[in-house]
Every structure is written in structure tokens, then in C-alpha cells.
């Protein structure tokens, strides 16, 4: 006597029941995180992100620019303190030699005058020096070999408030873009955030946010071509650190020169 074939509906029910039983077994053995465990993991990630922002924010500087060709206030942008005595790295997108005034926030929240020291035309960055006796907190940078695709990435800026950092969370989506000069992130970046840091979940600096497009004059692109594109770029601080002393001495860095990439 031939066995009676099961109906498709009954077969489906049996399959689902077996699947649920199997998943419950795995869960009981601890192989599948429970809902509570998943919630706990998300909460821990959230707290880690908050702690990273809290750690990094004091090193993020708000910069107010006045002057340029139109002799008007350009508006605040962001910068990153790279030495305790007031050297600040920022994007060259809006920082022009024709500026009549640059004001930077100090660690106490006050404003102090800053001046342009040098440009890195290869990486679209500018080094400023703030005239203050206050000491800036300095963040460690992520070594190049530790930067990998998929890491949490947090973009910081101080555009809207001198004391509170605006932030955007994403991941590292590429670690070697623009001829090896940049890290790529999918964190939401606006032109007003350029000059701020891209940090990891421990509050260490991946790099300085800036649009990287061919711009031989330096400081003449507003970076809006990348806004809302879904990608942003940061120059790795690990790559720039060996050149900081040259910049501090007032030496501009140009692409194509020996020792400068």
C-alpha cells in the first residue's frame, strides 16, 4: 500500500514547526542571542558611541571666518586640535589667505584669534595657530594598519554650537581612496562639518574630514559636490602626522614634491 502524500499546506506547517523547534534548541544552548541579549548589545554599542563623542568633543574646535573676496562672514566651520599649544587642522574648503579674521573656540569656550600657518594642497588641509595660553586636549590617532572596512565611524563638527558637537554615525566603507590619500565613510557629512574629525568607537581619530577633489589653488572649493552623495572622505591623521612639523614651520605642502604624497 502506497503512503498517502501530505498536502503542501501540511508539509509547510511541519517544516515551520521543525524550524522553530531547531531555533529554540539553538537558543537554549546559547547559540542564538535572545531578544534581551540583542537589546543589551545595542545598548552597549549606543553607550560606547556616546562615550567616544564625549571623549573627542573637547578637541573639536569651532572656527568663524570673516573676509575673503566678498569681505563677508562665511560662517562657522570645524577644526581639530593637533597639539596642546593651539595648532588646529581644518579643511581648506573655506579657508583662504584673503580672510581678514579667523576666530577659534578655546577649551574654556571662549573665542580667540587664529592665523593661517600653512596649507597642505595635496590633502586639502590647512594648519592654523590659535593665540591662546589655554591647553587643548589631544586625541590619539588610529594606526593605519588598524583601519579596516566595516568599523564604526563617527563624524564630528562644531558648526551649530561652540560647546556641543554635531555628529553622524556610519562605518568605514573604504580605507584607501583617492590614490591612497583618504578613508571613505558612509556617515552623513555636510560642508559645515569639514575640518572636524572622523573618530572610531574608542574616541581615536581616523582622520580629518575634507572633500578631496583636484584643486590646485587650494581653498576654492566649497565641497558641496559631495554633499548628500552618501559618501564622505577623511585624510588619515596617521599619514599626516609625519608632515606636521613642516606645516608648523610654515612650509606649504604641494602634490608631486619629493617626500609628499
User: What pLDDT does 55 receive?
Assistant: 95
Is the pLDDT at 40 greater than 80? The verdict is no
Quote the mean pLDDT of the chain. 80
Q: Range of 65's domain?
A: 41-255
In a domain, 23, yes or no: no
Residue 4, in any domain of the structure:
no
Say what percent of the chain tops pLDDT 90: 49
Instruction: Say which residue, 97 or 83, is predicted with more confidence.
Output: 83
Mean local confidence (pLDDT), 133-158: 94
188: pLDDT strictly greater than 70: yes
The whole-model pTM stands at 0.77
Is residue 26, in this structure, part of any structural domain at all? no
Q: What's the domain count of the chain? A: 1
In CATH, what number is assigned to the domain containing residue 50? 2.40.10.120
Q: pLDDT tens digits, residue range 50-78?
A: 999 999 999 999 998 887 555 555 668 89
Q: Is residue 166 part of a domain?
A: yes
Work out the average pLDDT over 220-227. 45
How much is the pLDDT for 85? 95
Pick from 205, 222, 171: nearest CA to 56: 205
| Residue 8, domain member (yes or no) | no
pLDDT value, residue 177:
83
Q: Cα angle vertex 97, ends 92, 71, to 5°?
A: 105
Q: Is residue 202 in a domain? A: yes
**In the structure grid, which three cell numbers stand for residue 84, read together?**
596642546
The most confident of 133-142, 165-174, 175-184, by mean pLDDT: 133-142
> Quick check: is 110 in a domain?
yes
Contact status, residue 107 vs residue 141, Cβ threshold 8 Å:
no
- Give the list of residues 6+ apart from residue 3 with CB closer than 8 angstroms, or none: none
pLDDT over threshold 60, residue 259:
no
How large is the average pLDDT for residues 214-236? 58
Q: Is the pLDDT of residue 120 over 80?
A: yes
Report whether pLDDT(48) > 80.
Answer: yes
Q: What is the DSSP string of the chain?
A: -PPPPPPHHHHHHHHHHHHHHHHHHHHHTTSS--HHHHHHHHHHHHHHHHHHHHHHGGGEEEEEEEETTTTEEEEEEEEEE-STTSEEEEETTS--TTEEEEEEE-TTS-EEEEEEEEEETTTTEEEEEE--SSPPP---B--GGG--TT-EEEEEE-SS-SSS-EEEEEEEEEEEETTTTEEEE-S---GGGTTSEEE-TTS-EEEEE------TTSS---SGGGTTSS-EEEEEHHHHGGGHHHHHTT--B-TTSTT--
Asked if residue 43 has pLDDT above 60, the reply is: yes
What confidence tens digit (pLDDT) does each residue in 19-39 have? 556 555 555 555 556 667 777
**Structure confidence at residue 175 (pLDDT):** 87
**pLDDT score for 218:** 41
Residue 181 lies in a domain: yes
**Band of the pLDDT at 235, cuts 50, 70, 90?**
very high
Query: Is pLDDT above 50 for 165?
Result: yes
What pLDDT was estimated at residue 42? 81
With CA atoms as reference, report the closest residue to 111 among 162, 57, 60, 54. 162
Amino acid at each position: 500500500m502506497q503512503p498517502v502524500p501530505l498536502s503542501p499546506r501540511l508539509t509547510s506547517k511541519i517544516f515551520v514547526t521543525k524550524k522553530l523547534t531547531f531555533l529554540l534548541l539553538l537558543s537554549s544552548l546559547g547559540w542564538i542571542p535572545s531578544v534581551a541579549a540583542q537589546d543589551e548589545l545595542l545598548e552597549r554599542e549606543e553607550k560606547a558611541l556616546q562615550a567616544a563623542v564625549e571623549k573627542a568633543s573637547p578637541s573639536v574646535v569651532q572656527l568663524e571666518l570673516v573676509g575673503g573676496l566678498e569681505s563677508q562672514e562665511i560662517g562657522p566651520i570645524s577644526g581639530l586640535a593637533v597639539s596642546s599649544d593651539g595648532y588646529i587642522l581644518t579643511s581648506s574648503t573655506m579657508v583662504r589667505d584673503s580672510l581678514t579674521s579667523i576666530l577659534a573656540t578655546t577649551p574654556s569656550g571662549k573665542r580667540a584669534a587664529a592665523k593661517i600657518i600653512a596649507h597642505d594642497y595635496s590633502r586639502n588641509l590647512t594648519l592654523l595657530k590659535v593665540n591662546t595660553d589655554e591647553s587643548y586636549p589631544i586625541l590619539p590617532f588610529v594606526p593605519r594598519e588598524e583601519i579596516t572596512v566595516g568599523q564604526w565611524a563617527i563624524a564630528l563638527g562644531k558648526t551649530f554650537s561652540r560647546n556641543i558637537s554635531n555628529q553622524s554615525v556610519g562605518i568605514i566603507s573604504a580605507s584607501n581612496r583617492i590614490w591612497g590619500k583618504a578613508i571613505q565613510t558612509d556617515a552623513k557629512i555636510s560642508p559645515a562639518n569639514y575640518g572636524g574629525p572622523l573618530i572610531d568607537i574608542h574616541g581615536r581619530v581616523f582622520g580629518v574630514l575634507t572633500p578631496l577633489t583636484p584643486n590646485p589653488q587650494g581653498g576654492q572649493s566649497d565641497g558641496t559636490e559631495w554633499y548628500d552623495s552618501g559618501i564622505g572622505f577623511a585624510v588619515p591623521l596617521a599619514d599626516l602626522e609625519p608632515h606636521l612639523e613642516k606645516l608648523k614651520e610654515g612650509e606649504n605642502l604641494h602634490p608631486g614634491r619629493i617626500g609628499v604624497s
